[in-house]
Amino acid sequence: MWSYSRRGFTSVASATVAQHQQKARYKPVIGLEVHVQLNTKTKLFSRCPTTDSSPNRRVLPFDMATPGTLPSLNSQCIYRALKMARLLNCHVSEWSRFDRKHYFYGDMPAGYQITQNHHPIAKNGNFGFWVFDEHLDVPYWKEVKILQLQLEQDSGKTIHLPSTSSEGGEGPKSLIDYNRAGCALIEIVTSPCFETAIEAIRFVQTLRLLIIHHNISNGELHKGHLRVDANVSLERDTVPGTRTEIKNMNSIRTIHTAINFEIARQFEILNSNGTVQKETRAADQDGRTVSMREKDDVDTDYRFMVEPNLPKLRIKEEWLTMAEEEMENAGKADFENLRDVIGFDPRSSIHIAEDPDLLAFVKRCIRLRDSSVSAEEILYWMKQLKTTMQRSKCNYPPQSEFFARQFMTLLNLVRQRRLTHLRVLDLLRYYSTTSEGDSSEGEEEGVTEFVEKHQLWRIEDPREIERLVGDMMRRNEKLVEKARNGNSKSFNRLRNLINEATEKRIDIEELCEVMKQFLDQKLV
């Protein structure tokens, strides 16, 4: 059953037990609108290139609403939309068309945005993804309904400058950059089926990795390639609440904190018998939501009309086939491979895939992987490696192919029990702090040669271990005496002495076992 405290919400407001019970009566209902900027070479309706440039250098007459100019639809945007439709298991409409959505805004030069309101290119989809969180015992699979996908124009950007303070200075100014005006967006509208902020961000994270993989968008959040609006309300005993809309969030962190903030804010209002205002809100730098407009603006009538200069868009069978083939050729996304083929857990798969350096490292390792090495082992040793490197102030993860090879060799050797755990840690430290940045790979000595040369193989012969332990015991009778009386410090001291003397070549568990036998005088 659903329980409020289990799924997130912990980052905002520490709650008393009484509050908890009260909160449990409210169920957050969250819907998302995700605006994905497509990575087509030209804009949605003009042949203007979309490459980065200084302000107002990527503007053709149509993009600045020169009167008399007409839209012509970029076919590449259709392909991207068809791929997106497939990704979200949407039904592609036989035909769709474009609408004008009217409102005045300085960076929207025509006084309307061309979008698809009534007959979108695709609708009725569903999308599944894993939800994981440190507060969850196990990840769970969530499926959300997609209401529609619509192709639409992006707006320009406005920069508001304050008035210059000096005497004779100028008043406040707004500068407009039309470079982005008319760039292609796909808006994904989900049904309000998210219950927590964590679910919302896992959806966006998963979606982001997929659209990058399938060459739909470059997916760079800091460049605004993905902008998210969230509708948030609290339902009480299945009675829907008033919703607010948080606009234009472009980082995962903001989405997370702003939704949580909004849930808490609405809860506080409802809990003190107030009413939530239907309104549009913005998220500030700290993820708090602040009111953006007057509340009556929420019901703005956009005076939709059919865009008369574009014929109906009829989807040809071969376009669908092409989009499908393109996606099949692209194969699975990295996070899917990590999860489904290699066996990484959902969290690690996403976490690794989101970090290009980490992903490169893992992919190198996987290529060298002996299939007997499991994802858990790789993750375990990556964690050891990370700690080691951070302690020695080195950049994790190491980027050389050479290192990856040594890393995987070590993993193999440790699982074959040819090296001890402690020995491997030492070797990881050695290789990760010395080999990194050293490009003369050929001269470097691999793990096997190094271990052979320095004779660091695990001591396997039980009699040899007994002999070594016995020697050390006899030379440290005082410590043995204390250890025998239950002094654990002395025991550890003894163990460390042996480790040092044997260059950590005895497996630590085995060593402890043998030591105990000596102490219990089963061995002498």
Binding site for another protein (CB under 8 A): 61, 64-73, 100, 102, 104, 106, 109-112, 174, 176, 178, 301, 303-305, 308-311
Residue 246, helix vs strand vs coil: strand
Q: Minimum distance between the CB of residue 435 and another protein, rounded to whole angstroms?
A: 57
Q: Which of 70, 341 has the CB closer to another protein?
A: 70
**Among candidates 401, 423, 385, 418, which has minimal Cα distance to 502?**
423
Q: Which of 195, 307 has the CB closer to another protein?
A: 307
Q: Which of 174, 492 has the CB closer to another protein?
A: 174
Q: Which of 293, 391 has the CB closer to another protein?
A: 293
Catalogue the E-assigned strands of 162-270: 173-177, 184-190, 226-236, 244-249
Q: Which of 47, 91 has the CB closer to another protein?
A: 47
Q: Which of 72, 416 has the CB closer to another protein?
A: 72
What does the alpha-carbon distance between residue 49 and residue 183 come to, in Å, rounded to a whole number?
9
Q: Which of 112, 335 has the CB closer to another protein?
A: 112
Q: Minimum distance between the CB of residue 63 and another protein, rounded to whole angstroms?
A: 10
Residue position matching structure tokens 């999308």: 127
Q: Minimum distance between the CB of residue 102 and another protein, rounded to whole angstroms?
A: 6
Q: Minimum distance between the CB of residue 39 and another protein, rounded to whole angstroms?
A: 23
Q: Minimum distance between the CB of residue 73 and another protein, rounded to whole angstroms?
A: 7
Q: Which of 112, 361 has the CB closer to another protein?
A: 112
Q: Minimum distance between the CB of residue 16 and another protein, rounded to whole angstroms?
A: 46
- For the chain, give the number of residues: 524
Q: Minimum distance between the CB of residue 46 and another protein, rounded to whole angstroms?
A: 10
CA atoms within 13 A on the CB side of 261: 20
Task: Give the dihedral sign, CA 104/107/111/113.
Answer: negative
- Amino acid (one-letter) located at 90: C
Q: Which of 73, 264 has the CB closer to another protein?
A: 73
Helix, strand, coil % (nearest 5) of the chain?
Answer: 40, 20, 40
What does the alpha-carbon distance between residue 86 and residue 354 come to, in Å, rounded to a whole number?
22
Phi-psi region of 440 (alpha: psi -120 to 50; beta: other; left: phi over 0): beta
Tokens of 282: 């913005």
The DSSP code sequence of 54-118 is STTSS--GGGGT-TT------HHHHHHHHHHHHHTTPEEPSEE--EEEE--BTTBTTSEEEE-SS
What does the alpha-carbon distance between residue 223 and residue 52 come to, in Å, rounded to a whole number?
11
Strand 289-291 versus strand 26-37 pairing type: unpaired
Q: Minimum distance between the CB of residue 309 and another protein, rounded to whole angstroms?
A: 5
Q: Minimum distance between the CB of residue 118 and another protein, rounded to whole angstroms?
A: 11
Q: Which of 300, 496 has the CB closer to another protein?
A: 300
Q: Minimum distance between the CB of residue 367 and another protein, rounded to whole angstroms?
A: 47
Cα dist from 280 to 247, 267, 295, whole Å: 7, 17, 7
Residue 229, helix vs strand vs coil: strand
**Among candidates 277, 278, 286, 233, which has minimal Cα distance to 258?**
286
Q: Minimum distance between the CB of residue 297 and another protein, rounded to whole angstroms?
A: 13
Cβ neighbours of residue 115 closer than 8 Å, sequence gap 6 or more = 98, 99, 100, 101, 150, 151, 152, 153, 187
Q: Which of 111, 240 has the CB closer to another protein?
A: 111
